[in-house]
Amino acid sequence: MAGSERVEMSQFQRGDSQFTFSTRYAAPIAPQPPKRRVGALGIAALAMSSALVGGIIGASSMGISYVASTQPAPVVVNSVEQVNWVTGAASQAGPSVVTLSVNSSSNSGSGSGVILTEDGYILTNAHVVTLGGETDGASLAVRLFDGTVVAAELIGYDSVYDLAVIKVEAEGLKPIVFADSKTLNVGQNVVAIGAPLGLTSTVTEGIVSALNRTIQVASSEVSDEPGLSFWTGVGESISIQVIQTDAAINPGNSGGALVDENGRLIGVNVAIATAGNGVAGSIGVGFAIPSNTAARIATEIMETGVATHGLLGAMVRNSFAADSSFSIGAYVEQVTEDGAANAAGIRSGDVVIEFAGERVTGSADLTALVRAQPAGAEVEVVVLRDGTNRTFTVTLGDAADLN
């Protein structure tokens, strides 16, 4: 978008070296991860278990086996006269998308990632690099767009928003270009790029189906108990705000790119809805972490190895409309005496209906929105009190204080 592009540069020190990360704005895993209920659907992580036997990566519930891709399948253009916007977007973003192989002593998996910097920082999902919460010591390898395979180092992961940053030593890397996810529209064309079912450099097309959707997935935090994976359903769930898309994404797309018509990153693919009954795969309901959230968390992980998250300091529950099962806000049951909400003037009995300009329809929405903000962020919160809307400016605390 000529004339409206802006670039934000973040510099950080790691050891004796200084790095620059630019965000450009223009205008697996344990076999059979459990399904989280969302109405009649479940939410499944996208990383793919890869018990490799003779080149086979698992099998579908219909008995169809998928053969491991032995080499990348870069975007092929045989006739330049017949290319379309999908070809253009895929050609622009494709070289910035990689495939991950993750291995531990007891399990292995695969996923996708997007290149952040020329010097090798790559963004992916936390549940990919931790094998779904099984370990934080897995060995990592990355297959680049040109087929080169290199070892990777885990820089840090964030189980609150299911993101991780890894580092490779390689030349000629092409960083992904970030779009501003706040400018997205429902119905906008998108392309998903990744390695579904182990098939590298796969391109699928769709639209933005919904924005500001809140979903709940299992935490990928590594358990302190040996052999215990949070993907078995033992761990707590996390609430995250996502972009919903009907572009076909499947296990193996985890950490891959959701891009706009110009090949700019608008989201990091993280989960899909499933129809239940053990059936996994695309049913046209996929989810991606917005690029703005991903950029903020990635920058913090590169700078310090961890990401911060806001803390409101309030216990909330759904506030239901009279005689219905529809939640219309987050009811504040209790505020922490020395917490951010209390300091701003929010009280028990208030119903939060808007946070940082986003509508709040329930407690999960509020949790996801608060955690998407960094610690110390100043945001406006609108509450319903005695039939009147009231606006408060809140300086968020640090979620790390809960630990």
Q: What is the C-alpha separation between 377 and 372, in angstroms, rounded?
A: 10
Q: Is the pLDDT of residue 72 over 80?
A: no
Q: Are residues 335 and 303 in the same domain?
A: no
DSSP secondary structure letter of residue 136: S
Q: What is the C-alpha separation between 158 and 219, in angstroms, rounded?
A: 10
Positions annotated as catalytic residues are: 127, 162, 254
Which pTM was predicted?
A: 0.83
Q: Is the pLDDT of residue 57 over 70?
A: no
Q: Of 255, 289, 307, which residue constitutes the final position of a domain?
A: 307
Q: Are residues 251 and 369 in the same domain?
A: no
Q: Of 279, 307, 335, which residue constitutes the final position of a domain?
A: 307
Q: List the domain range (segments joined by +) for residue 221.
A: 1-307
pLDDT-derived band of residue 276, with 50, 70 and 90 as boundaries?
confident
Q: Is the pLDDT of residue 149 over 70?
A: yes
Q: Are residues 264 and 126 in the same domain?
A: yes
Q: What value does the mean pLDDT of the chain take?
A: 83
Give 354's strand partners.
359, 382
* pLDDT tens-digit map of 156-214: 999 999 999 999 999 999 999 999 999 999 999 999 999 998 899 999 999 999 999 99
Domain count, the chain: 2
CB 162 within 8 A of CB 220: yes
Q: Is the pLDDT of residue 59 over 60?
A: no
Q: Is the pLDDT of residue 231 over 80?
A: no
Q: Are residues 130 and 164 in the same domain?
A: yes
Q: Are residues 100 and 225 in the same domain?
A: yes
pLDDT-derived band of residue 278, with 50, 70 and 90 as boundaries?
low
| Buried/exposed code over 350-370 (b: 16+ C-beta within 10 A; e: otherwise) | bbbbbbbebebbbbbbbbbbb
Q: Is the pLDDT of residue 12 over 90?
A: no
Q: What would the mean pLDDT of 107-118 be, rounded to a whole number?
A: 95
Q: Are residues 241 and 346 in the same domain?
A: no
Q: Are residues 249 and 156 in the same domain?
A: yes
CATH number of residue 14's parent domain: 2.40.10.120
- The pLDDT value given to residue 340: 98
Q: Are residues 14 and 67 in the same domain?
A: yes
Q: Are residues 91 and 236 in the same domain?
A: yes
Q: Of 244, 279, 307, which residue constitutes the final position of a domain?
A: 307
Look at the block and give the residue holding tokens 């924005």. 211
Q: Are residues 186 and 319 in the same domain?
A: no
- The pLDDT value given to residue 192: 98
CATH number of residue 391's parent domain: 2.30.42.10
Q: Are residues 64 and 4 in the same domain?
A: yes
Collapse the DSSP code of 356 into the 3-class scheme (helix H, G, I; strand E, B; otherwise coil) and give the result.
coil
Q: Are residues 88 and 34 in the same domain?
A: yes
